[in-house]
Every structure is written in structure tokens, then in C-alpha cells.
């Protein structure tokens, strides 16, 4: 009996494999924009995000892939075994995709196969923008093919997110380097972890032609760090000065009015000067410790002047060099406020906010951070028409103010394991197929989904090498050696 059952099982499996192998890989489109398909399960060469050729010359991208089973009929074995009658269930790969560059012509039962890198690059050439392109890395599903982003796409706000260890900081460095190398766009970086302070220093082994070009671009990089990172009290607007001293215009109306009048008439250079002018304000500064902040210029040059220097191609504000959270929030607020105040110049500037959950959080916890958040939200909502473009980077998208995230038309999504963060990304970035966003949980180090105006299509990319030195690095795990 057991031998008979084993023989029937072998016959059943052989028949099922034969039937499954006869499945034709074909696709159908009813609108000429999207398509559905079926394909044999073995060998399955299709991948979500991968490229396929439909018919003779139509390129497509797979956006979903599923396993479907259906009954192929009933077998009768003509014996008394448990398999005397068995339904054969056939397994088929099914899914959907979008046509890349389709003309809107529907089709039915077009042959489908994986596209070669040569076929992908042939299509990409037809979609190349008449602007500078940024070769940021290799297409994961077209090995050897560098994916070039449209530099002009940075005239839309961009959101970059990835959990710790995903390669987010490295990827942001690659984007900044390519922008410096290939465009003339001015860049201001708020750098809370001192990751980009070496943006002007070449890594060893960079090709000579690239090194020469990058060194020329790097001459315009100004890093404000440590003792070079200073602001003057009169440079702050009324709200910024009051926030530094935790003055409420209603609760502390006398002191608030005194500070406003004082700065209009006397304009002391530093908080310490208040002692000779208004004892009450000086006591408040001492009680809060504000008078001891090292960020005050005290007669030295201000870092905010660099924001108005036309020769400063890239200004890195090293917030990580400041010893207190309050000083970091003060400088972030002052920089964003100054950039907004210069908006009438209509000079294009890319404002990069790394670790944006600290600079413009969803729930600010202090007056200075609340002001910085307000400026970021205003720039996100209205800055584009003045040439102020945001690039915000974070580990936790839900912790960034939603009015900043929701204004972003470009997304660079790296590994995210949190189901809540992925759900949020699907909700906010609905212009990207949800099935592609879901792949973020499977990404390896340095892999990303790039979508929006930056890219001709939602592309899975493995980020390429850096040109400049990295400013920060993980603490080595020598403590784990046996």
C-alpha cells in the first residue's frame, strides 16, 4: 500500500511539474499604462522592481508578484488507495506592473521575459533629461548599469529615510558630492552629528579626473565648526531672542518688551553685555545658563554671514560641535530664519537637514526647536517659489513634523524594519506603488528605492562609492572580540 501511494505521489508531482512548466509567460494591458501577467513558477526570474520586456520592444517594471494556485482537473487512480481521486492544483506566478514609456495602447497576451541591462539602458537614454545627471549608484536589477538621477529634480523637496545601519548617512554624502560635482546649486547643511565636516577632503584612490574636478568644487565648501561656529545676539529675530531667554510675550510681557526695546536701541553684541544694561534680563540669562553658551560671537565673525556670501558654494553648519542641545537648536533656528529672510533674492539653495527628527520634530519640546520647526514648515510650504529647496534626512519618518514630510515630492527610502514606519511611508508617499515601498524591509546596506521627480521611474539602487572623506564613523566593536 505504501509503495503504491509513493508511486502515485511521484506521478502526481511529475504531472504537476509538467503542467506548471507549460504555463506561458504572457501579459495583458487594458489601459496601455499598467499590465498584469502570468509566468511559470520554475524558473522564476522575475522580481518586484525588476524590468521585463513585453512583446518586441515594450519595457515594463514589475510592481507586485504573487503565487496563485488553481485546479487543473481531477485524476482517477483506479485503485483503493487514498489517492483514488485527486485534484491537481497548479501553481503559477502572477502579478502586475507598470509600462515604462507606454503610449497608452492596450494589448493582450504579449510575451513577457526579463529585460537585459542593455534593453534597460536603451530606454533610459530616451528619457534622459536635458539637465545635469547624478550617477549615484547601480540599478539592483540591471547589474552594471549606473542609474543617473535628474539633478533638476532637486527643485522639489526631498525626503531621505532609513533606519540606523542602513547607510543613510553615506548615501546622503554621495548625493551632496554629486551635486557639488555636476551642478552649481548652492548647499547649506545642518549637520547634527558632524558627518559632513570632511566633505572637502578627498578619499584615497579617487580617479584623477574626478579628483581634479571635485577639488575645484570643494574650494567653495565652508565648514563652521567649534570656535568657527558663532552667532551674534542682534542677528536673531525677536522670537529667537525671546526663545533663547524663554520669554513669553504675554506671561513675561515686561521683560519681553524690555528686550525688544533694548535690542532696537542698544543692540548689545552678546548676552553678557546685558549685565550693564538691564539687570533683570541679565539675571534671567544667568539663571538659565544662557550667558555661558560658547556659541555667542562676543565680537567675532558670525557664521550666518556665510549664508550671504556668493562665493560660498556649500556651507556646513556643524551642530554636532556645539556642547548643548539648546545651542544646537539656537543655531538651527537662526540659520533657517536667515535663509527665509533672504528669500526675496530668489537664489536657489538646497537646505539639507540631517537628523531632521531633532531639528524639526513632530512634537517640539522647547521654544527654540519649536521656532526651527516653524521655519522648516514654512520653507516646505512656500520656499520652492523662492528657490529654497529642502532635503531632509531621518531614521524615523514619523518623528519629523508631518507638514515637512508631506510636502516632499521625492523620496529616497532605505532599509526600514518598523511596520509602523512603513505604513506611514505608504500613506505619505502614495505616488509610489505600495508593493515597492514594502521592499524597504528587505534592503541590504546601501540599497535604496528612489522615486519622484529625481528619477525616471521608481528605481531600486545600490549606492555607489563616496568621493570625499566621511566625517563620522561607528564606534568599533573591538569589545566583542573573543
pLDDT digits (tens, 9 = 90+) for 360-406: 999 999 999 999 999 999 999 999 999 999 999 999 999 999 999 99
pLDDT attached to residue 7? 63
Closest CA to 468 of 81, 54, 179, 102: 179
Residues constituting the chain: 482
pLDDT attached to residue 3? 66
As a whole number, mean pLDDT of residues 191-206 equals 94
Q: Is the pLDDT of residue 471 over 90?
A: no
Q: Which residues have CB under 8 Å from 148's CB, separation 6+? A: 124, 128, 133, 134, 135, 136
Q: Is the pLDDT of residue 258 over 80?
A: no
- Extended strands (E) in 163-289: 186-190, 221-224
Choice among 106-110, 211-215, 257-261 with the minimum mean pLDDT = 257-261
Q: Rounded to an integer, what distance in angstroms lies between the CA atom of residue 17 and that of residue 279?
A: 89
Q: Rounded to an integer, what distance in angstroms lies between the CA atom of residue 258 and that of residue 427?
A: 47
Q: Which domains does the chain have, with CATH numbers?
A: 2-115 (no CATH), 133-229+301-472 (3.40.50.300), 231-300 (no CATH)
Q: Rounded to an integer, what distance in angstroms lies between the CA atom of residue 27 and that of residue 56?
A: 13
Cell numbers 533638476: residue: 152
440 pLDDT band, cuts 50/70/90, is: very high
Q: 12, 90 in Cβ contact below 8 A?
A: no
Q: Please provide the average confidence, as pLDDT, over all residues in the chain.
A: 88
pLDDT attached to residue 275? 59
Cell numbers 502614495: residue: 430
Q: Rounded to an integer, what distance in angstroms lies between the CA atom of residue 155 and that of residue 410?
A: 10
Cell numbers 566625517: residue: 471
pLDDT attached to residue 11? 63
Cβ atoms within 10 Å, residue 307: 20
pLDDT digits (tens, 9 = 90+) for 47-93: 999 999 999 889 999 999 998 887 765 545 455 555 555 676 778 88
Q: Tell me what percent of the residues of the chain surpass a pLDDT of 90.
A: 63
CA 180 from centre of chain: 18
Q: Rounded to an integer, what distance in angstroms lies between the CA atom of residue 282 and that of residue 271?
A: 8
pLDDT attached to residue 254? 81
Which grid coordinates belong to 296? Answer: 555667542
pLDDT attached to residue 77? 46
pLDDT attached to residue 446? 95
Instruction: Write down the pTM of the prediction.
Output: 0.89
The larger pLDDT score, comparing residue 257 to residue 339, is at: 339
Per-range mean pLDDT, top range of 39-43, 90-94, 198-202, 278-282: 198-202
As a whole number, mean pLDDT of residues 209-222 equals 93
pLDDT digits (tens, 9 = 90+) for 140-187: 999 889 999 999 999 999 999 999 999 999 999 999 999 999 999 999
Cell numbers 567649534: residue: 226
The larger pLDDT score, comparing residue 418 to residue 273, is at: 418
Q: Rounded to an integer, what distance in angstroms lies between the CA atom of residue 424 and that of residue 421?
A: 5
pLDDT digits (tens, 9 = 90+) for 267-315: 555 565 665 667 788 788 888 888 888 888 877 788 888 888 878 899 9
Tell me the CA distances in angstroms from 146 to 32, 73, 134, 318, 425, one per residue in order.
28, 48, 10, 32, 26
The larger pLDDT score, comparing residue 289 to residue 16, is at: 289
What pairing do the DSSP bridges indicate for beta strands 107-114 and 158-161?
unpaired
Number of alpha carbons in the 13 Å side-chain half-sphere of residue 55: 16
256 pLDDT band, cuts 50/70/90, is: confident
As a whole number, mean pLDDT of residues 332-337 equals 96
Reported as type and span, the H/E element at residue 382 is helix 367-382
Amino acid at each position: 500500500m505504501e509503495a503504491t501511494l509513493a508511486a502515485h505521489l511521484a506521478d502526481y508531482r511529475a504531472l504537476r511539474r509538467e503542467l506548471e512548466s507549460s504555463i506561458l509567460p504572457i501579459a495583458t494591458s487594458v489601459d496601455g499604462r499598467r499590465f498584469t501577467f502570468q509566468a511559470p513558477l520554475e524558473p522564476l526570474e522575475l522580481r518586484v522592481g525588476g524590468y521585463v520586456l513585453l512583446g518586441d520592444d515594450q519595457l515594463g517594471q514589475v510592481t507586485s508578484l504573487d503565487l496563485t494556485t488553481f485546479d487543473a482537473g481531477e485524476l482517477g487512480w483506479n485503485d483503493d488507495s487514498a489517492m483514488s481521486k485527486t485534484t491537481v492544483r497548479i501553481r503559477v506566478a502572477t502579478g502586475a506592473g507598470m509600462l515604462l514609456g507606454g503610449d497608452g495602447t492596450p494589448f493582450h497576451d504579449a510575451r513577457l521575459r526579463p529585460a537585459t541591462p542593455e534593453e534597460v539602458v536603451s530606454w533610459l537614454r530616451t528619457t534622459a533629461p536635458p539637465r545635469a545627471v547624478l550617477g549615484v549608484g547601480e540599478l539592483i536589477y540591471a547589474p552594471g548599469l549606473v542609474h543617473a538621477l535628474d539633478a533638476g529634480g532637486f527643485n522639489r523637496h526631498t525626503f531621505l529615510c532609513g533606519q540606523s545601519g542602513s547607510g543613510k548617512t553615506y548615501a546622503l554624502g554621495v548625493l551632496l558630492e554629486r551635486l557639488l560635482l555636476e551642478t552649481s546649486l548652492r548647499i547649506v547643511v545642518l549637520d547634527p552629528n558632524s558627518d559632513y565636516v570632511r566633505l572637502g577632503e578627498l578619499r584615497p584612490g579617487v580617479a584623477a579626473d574626478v579628483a581634479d574636478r571635485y577639488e575645484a568644487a570643494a574650494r567653495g565648501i565652508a565648514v563652521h565648526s567649534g570656535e568657527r561656529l558663532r552667532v551674534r545676539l542682534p542677528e536673531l529675530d525677536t522670537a529667537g531672542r525671546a526663545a533663547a531667554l524663554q520669554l513669553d510675550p504675554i506671561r513675561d510681557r515686561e521683560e519681553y518688551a524690555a528686550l525688544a526695546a533694548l535690542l532696537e536701541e542698544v543692540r548689545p553684541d552678546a548676552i553678557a553685555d546685558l549685565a550693564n544694561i538691564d539687570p533683570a534680563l541679565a539675571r534671567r540669562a544667568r539663571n538659565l545658563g544662557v550667558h555661558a553658551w560658547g556659541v555667542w560671537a562676543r565680537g567675532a565673525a558670525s557664521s550666518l554671514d556665510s549664508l550671504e556670501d556668493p562665493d560660498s558654494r556649500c556651507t556646513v553648519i556643524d551642530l554636532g560641535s556645539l556642547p548643548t542641545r539648546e545651542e544646537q537648536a539656537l543655531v538651527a533656528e537662526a540659520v533657517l530664519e536667515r535663509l527665509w529672510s533672504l528669500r526675496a533674492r530668489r537664489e536657489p539653495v538646497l537646505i539639507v537637514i540631517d537628523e531632521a527628527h531633532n531639528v524639526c520634530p513632530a512634537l517640539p519640546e522647547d521654544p527654540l526647536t519649536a521656532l526651527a520647526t516653524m521655519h522648516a514648515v514654512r520653507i516646505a510650504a512656500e520656499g520652492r517659489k523662492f528657490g529654497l529647496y529642502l532635503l531632509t534626512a531621518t531614521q524615523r519618518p514619523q518623528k519629523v513634523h508631518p507638514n515637512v514630510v508631506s510636502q516632499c515630492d521625492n523620496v529616497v527610502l532605505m532599509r526600514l524594519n518598523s511596520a509602523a514606519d512603513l505604513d506611514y511611508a505608504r500613506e505619505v508617499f502614495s505616488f509610489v506603488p505600495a508593493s515597492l515601498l514594502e521592499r524597504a524591509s528587505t534592503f541590504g546596506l546601501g540599497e535604496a528605492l528612489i522615486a519622484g521627480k529625481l528619477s525616471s521611474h521608481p528605481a531600486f539602487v545600490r549606492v555607489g562609492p563616496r568621493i570625499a572623506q566621511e566625517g563620522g564613523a561607528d564606534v568599533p566593536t573591538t569589545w566583542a572580540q573573543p
